[in-house]
Amino acid sequence: MSATVPGYSPSFKKPAETLRLRRKRPRNAADPAAEAAVFPAGLAELGPRRAALAAGLCLRPFPAAGSRSGGVAAASLRRNPFARLDNSPRPAVGPEPVTDPAWPPATFLQDTGEPFLDFHQENNVTWKQEFSETTVKQLSVSFTWADHLKAQEEAQGFVQHCRATEVHLPENIQDPRLSTELRCAFQQSLIYWLHPFLPWLQLFPRIGADRKIAGKMSPWSNDEGLQQILMSEWSISFTSLYNLLKTKLCPYFYVCTYQFTVLFRAAGLGGNDIVTAVLSPTTRGLREAMKNEGIEFSLPLIKQNGQRKQKVSETSVHVAESECKTEPEEEQLISDEDEEESFSWLEEMGVQDKIKKPDISLKLRKEKNEVQVDHRPESIVLVKGINTFTLLNFLINCKSLVATSGPQAGLPPTLLSPIAFRGATMQMLKARTVNVKTPVYTGYKDQFSLEITGPIMPHSLHSLTMLLKSAQKGSFSAGLYTHEPTSIFNTCTQMEKISNKEVLEKELTNCGLHLKTLSQLTQLPILGKSSLRFMEMDNYACNWKS
């Protein structure tokens, strides 16, 4: 066997001799016998190694054995006998670069899990055509300028807000981090005024907030004396806000209860030339209570729907009307038939003329239609003119305005305003910058975002848009999350344009808002029952989705 297998040693089968060879001290690396001293016979394979060297193959050399620990290092770094003889490093093989101009965006979206830009996918435009270095630079401007305001900048922002200072920023700010004017204006746009203020409670929104308030300390819930004190202070603040609104020193304010929300608007806002107030959602009981107090109001959405139905009925033929009856009409016919059957027994007795038939069908149908719109957007109520003052007194004296049980028991409604009023507390919207890396086909790219949370009122949104237009070089996008019960306030309640719009805007110049923001709020609403969901500015041109 030793004659047929080159390099075979019979002593390999003797463990004692193998261990004795390993215990020998390593000799000098220049000694040719060093290899045999380190490796036992049969593992050195000097014959095949010389043959491989003669063939021109590149082999890994034996480790040096000149030190005391050379034997241990050689034993741990010996060549793997099962490895190929050619141990030269292989050339690095990587993926070939994508150069196909028709590379579809679907592949990119599938690999990363997130789309690069939503509108590319919606418009079915290939990502290869839209993506460019200019777009990346415009979309990658950092929001670090909004972080860590200096004490002087923060104080200056407070002063500018309290003095209603109108700030005019340049169209393009080269380095926003060095612009003190921009940072002060950003601080100014985050301020709002609130009453009451309880630091341990989140007082907006109030509809559906029982779960967030539950378990929090509320010493007034079982103390009627404390509840009266809170309501007395709230009434003073509410009256102060209304007086500011009536004198055009406050553009608008909100009254947020646990059941509904009220928006008071000064004359000139929303296309109205007088003071208006809108309530939503409402119930039949609330509307009946307002009628009993002498408050004149209207249901604008119900009226619009009725006019639309009447117009359709006039233009449609009689056959279509008979075939396309709605469910309420069918129910009305059934109720009339039931009513006639219920009085048929009087005719059988012959006393139908002596007993007057009660006319309650019309009243019942009217009450049924009113109940069907309760808690729905169609239940919005519009109050105009002097009736808003009557509404003020009604809300102050309304016992059902405050919850009598539950986590919000005894807690007055929340008052939100863009300007200061008596008993109000200055509050700040919370702003936070986030920097993340998103994968692209060439690696990763930086994506910067600015998160602003809190009761963002319409004037704040417009002010922030003007700031970002200058700071982000006219390119940014924003996702908006609206408090759903207030989306209905975007409904247009004035069908005709006012003739003295310029005069009303001039009278509102002291209300504390920027002139451009004020001009935007005086226009007729066009969103209807919906609200802004997404807004994008590209090259100083703004687009939005509802």
User: 100 is written with which tokens?
Assistant: 């196909």
* Calpha distance 174→171 (Å, rounded): 10
Domain boundary among 425, 460, 495: 425
In degrees, rounded to 5, the angle at the alpha carbon of residue 341 between the alpha carbons of residues 366 and 322 is: 60
**Residue 444: band (very low, low, confident or very high) from pLDDT cuts 50, 70, 90:** confident
Domain co-membership, 416 together with 444: no
| Burial (Cβ within 10 Å: 0-12, 13-18, ≥19) of residue 58 | exposed
**Is residue 79's pLDDT more than 70?**
no
Report the amino acid identity of residue 447: Q
| Burial (Cβ within 10 Å: 0-12, 13-18, ≥19) of residue 474 | middle
Structure confidence by residue, pLDDT tens digits, 492-530: 877 666 777 788 888 999 999 999 999 999 988 888 888
Q: What is this structure's pTM?
A: 0.66
Domain co-membership, 393 together with 437: no
Structure confidence by residue, pLDDT tens digits, 202-253: 999 999 999 999 989 999 988 999 999 999 999 999 999 999 999 999 999 9
Q: Do residues 416 and 263 touch, judged by C-beta distance below 8 A?
A: no
Residue 231 lies in a domain: yes
Domain co-membership, 298 together with 200: yes
Domain co-membership, 272 together with 385: yes
What pLDDT, on the 0 to 100 scale, is given for residue 440? Answer: 83
Structure confidence by residue, pLDDT tens digits, 83-104: 555 444 444 443 333 333 333 2
* Calpha distance 272→492 (Å, rounded): 10
Domain co-membership, 416 together with 445: no
Which of 31-40, 105-114, 237-246, 365-374 has the weakest average pLDDT? 105-114
**Is residue 111's pLDDT more than 50?**
no
Overall number of domains in the chain:
2
Residue 390 lies in a domain: yes
Residue 15 lies in a domain: no
What pLDDT, on the 0 to 100 scale, is given for residue 377? Answer: 81
Torsion of the alpha carbons at 67, 68, 72 and 74, rounded to the nearest 10: 30
End-to-end CA distance of the chain: 88
Higher local confidence (pLDDT), 437 or 66 = 437
Q: Do residues 331 and 365 touch, judged by C-beta distance below 8 A?
A: no
What pLDDT, on the 0 to 100 scale, is given for residue 141? Answer: 78
Residue 436 lies in a domain: yes
Residue 91 lies in a domain: no
Domain co-membership, 275 together with 412: yes
What pLDDT, on the 0 to 100 scale, is given for residue 239? Answer: 97
Q: Would you put residue 267 in left (φ > 0), alpha (ψ -120 to 50) or beta? A: beta
User: 405 is written with which tokens?
Assistant: 């049980």
Domain co-membership, 502 together with 467: yes
Domain boundary among 410, 425, 440: 425
Residue ranges making up the domain that contains 503: 132-165+429-545
Domain co-membership, 151 together with 232: no
As a whole number, mean pLDDT of residues 434-462 equals 89
Residue 475 lies in a domain: yes
* Calpha distance 78→35 (Å, rounded): 11
Domain co-membership, 471 together with 524: yes
Residue 187 lies in a domain: no
Domain co-membership, 273 together with 199: yes
Higher local confidence (pLDDT), 108 or 216 = 216
Domain co-membership, 151 together with 258: no
**Is residue 380's pLDDT more than 90?**
yes
Which DSSP symbol is given to 447?
E
Q: Is the peptide bond before 281 cis (omega within 30 degrees of 0)?
A: yes
Average pLDDT, the chain: 74
Residue 252 lies in a domain: yes
As a whole number, mean pLDDT of residues 439-468 equals 91
User: 437 is written with which tokens?
Assistant: 């890396």
What pLDDT, on the 0 to 100 scale, is given for residue 494? Answer: 73
Domain co-membership, 208 together with 227: yes
If one counts every other C-beta atom within 10 angstroms of the C-beta of residue 151, the result is 7
User: 487 is written with which tokens?
Assistant: 């989306």
